[in-house]
A and B are shown apart, each in its own frame.
Chain A
Amino acid sequence: MSSFEIIVDGLWRAFEIILSGDPEIMGITMLSLRVSITATLLGAIAGIPLGYIIATKEFIGKSFVTAIINTFMGLPPVAVGLFVYLMLSSFGPLGFLRLLYTPEAMIIAQLILAFPIVCGITISSVMGLNPKLKETLTSLNAPTLWQARVLLNESRLGILTALIAAFGAAISEVGAIMMVGGNLLGYTRALTTAIMLYTSMGDFAIAIALGIILLLIAFAINIFLTVLQTKSRTKSSI
């Protein structure tokens, strides 16, 4: 079979597999979604407030901290995987938690990748606002939390972009979760690690099916967040 025939055959069988609702494929898909959505949400919970604080407060080393976060936005997943592996392995400082080769370890690895993306884009979004806005809020005597509410709302388009970028980085990542999850069938096998495995086994149909599912998920989530972005342009900020 030529490469083209393999791809066409793979696509055909891929649609059959998807439409049949294969339990193994569904399990892999659901695990990928659970891990990446959790990591993105945790990244947002930590990254948005921290990004806001860094953007709005003046402190010594602010430029340095911002540069570090921006650098971490491009962390190599394999390096993150190695770091988390060393932390969680039986001889590591967090080995007692027994998290290695669990979905939780995969979430930790993706969180480390998602957090700087959310934090870094939040910093640039808030710092990109009109500086008179904060001064106006201060002059109106708005309490700190009310100021944050307005400033984050005014930065909401940038923050949604941060969530899109963070989720994209998490769902498409393979190196880190392979190292800390172990690609165990029915437990830690995610879409990306499964694609690698089936490709190496020469089972292109399943690999292509999983690739299509991965693309559809990424597309659906991006469409959802883009619609939110568009709506937020017309939504009240207070």
Chain B
Amino acid sequence: MSGEAAVVFIELRNVTKKFGAIKAVENLDLAIHYKDFLAVVGPSGAGKSTLLRIIDCLESPTSGDLLMDGVNYEKIDKLSIRQRIGMVFQNPVVFNTSVYNNIAYSLRFRKVPDHVERKKVGDLLKRLQLINLQNRKAITLSGGEAQRVTLARVLVYDPQLLLLDEPTANLDPYNASIIEEALIEANREYGTTIVIVTHDIFQAKRLANKVAFMLDGKVVEYGDARSFFEKPSNPKTKAFIDGEIVY
């Protein structure tokens, strides 16, 4: 890993998010470094999705600070923050148009020239094995195909940080493997920092170089993937890895 990988990209300091009386995230501290492939694991209701939504400015924290490159989110406008972030949701939402137009959409309002659009979209159609589907209406695709489109639609504008909220949940192995390969390529070839929320411990093991285990809105354990899985320091982490915490 290069020296650049140690540079902190996004930092959460003592972040709490409440929905009424419920604390989805509580006093959370987390640092995401450039080129990290971070898997956030934990049972349902642990606050994993809320964490991603806070980073993408879809939710505002009730208290605490978020920093991007050391600058507080409050001092940067949301559009500039989101310009560097791409998010893929668990349930794919596609527009009622062709696969090609879905992927090109983000480039069109970014005023990218036509020849660049064709090249970038063509490249992603290949990477996500969507070439044969490019003229199909996206709303007629299967869930797995639609999820590949939503990933391509985000990757096309080269976000520096990719947030994925259980992107392969309920997908068949074929679609899941295409998405995983695209994520590995984005991280290793293009240096995209990735945070993936997943229930799947094996997926976290396959993909991530860092893992954070969340429970009841807090990060219980965070560290290098190998030591996380082989020598978890927290008994709750060990219980989760061993399947003793049901999710």
Contacts and interface: CB of A to CB of B under 8 A. Distances in A.
Bind each other: yes
Interface of A: 130, 132-133, 135-136, 138-143, 146, 150, 153-154, 234, 236-238
Contacts of A154: 95-96
15 contacts: A135-B93, A136-B93, A138-B58, A140-B105, A140-B154, A142-B105, A150-B105, A154-B96, A234-B137, A236-B96, A236-B97, A237-B95, A237-B96, A238-B102, A238-B104
A141 B83 contact: yes
Contact of B95 (A135, A234, A238): A238
B58 A139 contact: yes
B109 interface: yes
B93 A133 contact: yes
Nearest to A143: B109
Contacts of A135: 58, 89, 93
A204 to B, nearest CB: 50
Contact of A142 (B87, B91, B104, B109): B109
A78 B196 CA distance: 62
A224 to B, nearest CB: 22
Contacts of A153: 96
Interface string B107-137: 0110000000000000000000000000001
B96 A140 contact: no
A138 B89 CA distance: 13
Interface of B: 56, 58, 79, 82-83, 85-87, 89, 91, 93, 95-98, 101-102, 104-106, 108-109, 137, 150, 153-154
B105 A238 contact: yes
Contacts of B137: 234
B35 to A, nearest CB: 22
Q: Give me the 5 closest cross-chain CB pairs, A-B, nearest first.
A: A236-B97, A141-B82, A146-B109, A237-B96, A136-B93
B83 A238 contact: no
Contact of B87 (A130, A133, A139, A234): A139
Contacts of A130: 93
Contacts of B91: 132
A139 B82 contact: yes
A236 B83 contact: no
B56 A139 contact: yes
A136 B101 contact: no
Contacts of B150: 136
A234 B135 CA distance: 12
B58 A150 contact: no
Nearest to A151: B95
A143 B102 CA distance: 16
Nearest to A130: B93
Nearest to A140: B106
Contacts of A142: 105-106, 109
Given A132-B89, A140-B105, A141-B83, A150 B95 contact: yes
Contacts of A234: 137
Nearest to A146: B109
Nearest to B109: A146
Contacts of A146: 108-109
A132 B93 contact: yes
B167 to A, nearest CB: 14
Contacts of B109: 142-143, 146
Nearest to A134: B93
A130 B109 CA distance: 22
Which of B58, B79, B105 is the most central at the interface, judged by chain A CB atoms within 10 Å of its CB? Answer: B105
Contact of B97 (A132, A138, A139, A237): A237
Contacts of A143: 109
Contacts of A238: 95, 97, 101-102, 104-105, 108
Contacts of B102: 238
Given A139-B89, A234-B137, 17 more contacts: A132-B93, A133-B93, A133-B95, A135-B93, A138-B58, A139-B56, A139-B87, A140-B105, A140-B106, A141-B79, A141-B83, A146-B108, A153-B96, A237-B96, A238-B101, A238-B105, A238-B108
Nearest to B104: A238
Nearest to B108: A238
Contact of A236 (B79, B82, B98): B98
